[in-house]
Structures are given as structure tokens and as C-alpha cells.
Amino acid sequence: MRLEVTHALAERMRADLKRAGRQEIGGILFAEQLEPNRFKIVDCSTDFHSGSHSTFRRDPVVHNALLRQFFERTGNDFRRFNYLGEWHSHPSFSVRPSPEDVAEMTSLVQVGKSQISFAVLLVLRIRFHFWLDASATLFARDHVPARVRIDAATRLI
């Protein structure tokens, strides 16, 4: 899988990370599928209130409403514009997914839990007020988690 992030969104996320300081923030990722296995993250939800220093739990009601709005904005063209996964920040430690992150994402793509068969986890951290660290990991049903490359074209990440 190849992943891009729009410049505008990367800038917004950077500003949000600065604003949140040492509090974890996060939300869900909305993407456009450019071709098979190639996605551009075009929007995301951001929750400033559910996080703490070390954990992030998003509010499903709020985020589901945002997902519906995204579908409306993109003409319910689900094959092209859809949910891609989750994101959150690790303000105080490395962007490597924690064991809890891996467990939650693995459970998200399991049969019976939801109709989602794959999802990306994007973890971000801002350092020295401008340097953006990022990791992206693909969780797919019946597969081990795989690191995803974020295209250099995105530059900011």
C-alpha cells in the first residue's frame, strides 16, 4: 500500500498537534483511493477531549457523524472516498504503535467485530515545535501488521 496526505491536511494536523501540547489527540482518517492499493488521506476528524497523556479513546458517536458528513460531501462515492483508519498522537513517546494500539487495530479488522477488513493506523508526534514524525501501519484481516510508506511527495510527513 502507498499512502499520501494532502498538504492542507498535514498543515492542519501539525497545527492541532501543537495546540494539544502533551495531550494525546486523534480521530479517524478519510481517504480517496487513487488506484488499487494507493490512497490519499484527504480529511480527518480530530478529538481534543477524549485523550490523556498516554491513551486515546475516540467517541464513536461524534466520529460516526463526521464519517456520514464526509460521505455526503463526497457524493456517497464509497468506492473512491471512504474510511481508511485511525490516527492519534504520541506526544511523549515514539510513533511506533504501542502493544495496546496493535491489539485494538487487530481487533478492529477481525471478523464479527465490523465490516472493516483493513485499516491504517497513523501515529504522529511533533518535536521541537515543527518536526513531524509519523508512522503508518496497515492492519488487514488475517495478516500481520505491515509498515506503510508515506510518499515523499507529502514532504511534511
- The reply on whether position 43 binds Zn ion by CB under 5 A is no
User: Should residue 33 be labelled a site residue for Zn ion when binding is judged by CB under 5 A?
Assistant: no
> Closest approach of Cβ 132 to Zn ion, in Å?
16
Query: Position 45: which residue type?
Result: S
Q: How far is the CB of 38 from Zn ion (least distance, A)?
A: 25
Nearer residue to Zn ion within complex by CB, 81 or 123: 123
Of 31 and 97, nearer to Zn ion (C-beta) is: 97
Q: Kindly state the smallest distance separating residue 81's Cβ from Zn ion, in Å.
A: 26
- C-alpha 125/C-alpha 70 separation (Å) is 25
Contact characters 81-120, Zn ion, x per CB under 5 A = -----------------x--x-------------------
User: Which residue, 25 or 31, has its beta carbon nearer to Zn ion?
Assistant: 25
Which residue's CB is nearer to Zn ion, number 10 or number 122? 122
Binding stretches for Zn ion (CB under 5 A): 98, 101
